[in-house]
Amino acid sequence: MAAWPSTLPAGLPHPVRIVTREVRLRTQMDSGRVKMRARFTAPPEDVTHPGMVLTDTQRTDLETFFVTTTSGGVDEWDWTHPATGAAASFRFATRPTYRSLSVGPATGRGWIADFALEIIP
């Protein structure tokens, strides 16, 4: 399995929002109590962040990682869980989009990369 590129920032920028998906599926019956069952035994977690600041080179690296390494966001990769610090499997939930910065990090133009992730159990 692939790993997060070492040329990109090592972690997600804070604040990070992690939401565990609902496991229960509720069905209203014609009469009587609502029925519930589990959709899956291990729910994925949805991860969002305010945007990752990148240089021009890092923007290219992230785009290459998305398109080539993860096959357009389909394949999983190993990274560090932002809350626990443990190893976890990630997948892109959305395609990265980029906003330009008026002043970039260090030298050159800068970018803010927006994307959502899934932590796969």
Q: How confident is the model at residue 109, as a pLDDT?
A: 76
pLDDT digits (tens, 9 = 90+) for 25-39: 889 999 989 999 888
Residues of the chain with pLDDT under 50: none
> What 3-state DSSP class applies to 56?
helix
Q: How confident is the model at residue 14, as a pLDDT?
A: 87
Radius of gyration of the chain (CA): 18
Q: How confident is the model at residue 106, as a pLDDT?
A: 55
Q: How confident is the model at residue 90, as a pLDDT?
A: 97
Burial of residue 59 (number of CB atoms within 10 Å: 0-12, 13-18, 19+): buried
Q: How confident is the model at residue 11, as a pLDDT?
A: 87
Residue given tokens 């291990």 in the structure block:
42
Q: How confident is the model at residue 82, as a pLDDT?
A: 93
What is the pTM for the complete model shown?
A: 0.82
Q: How confident is the model at residue 112, as a pLDDT?
A: 93
Burial of residue 81 (number of CB atoms within 10 Å: 0-12, 13-18, 19+): middle
Q: How confident is the model at residue 108, as a pLDDT?
A: 65
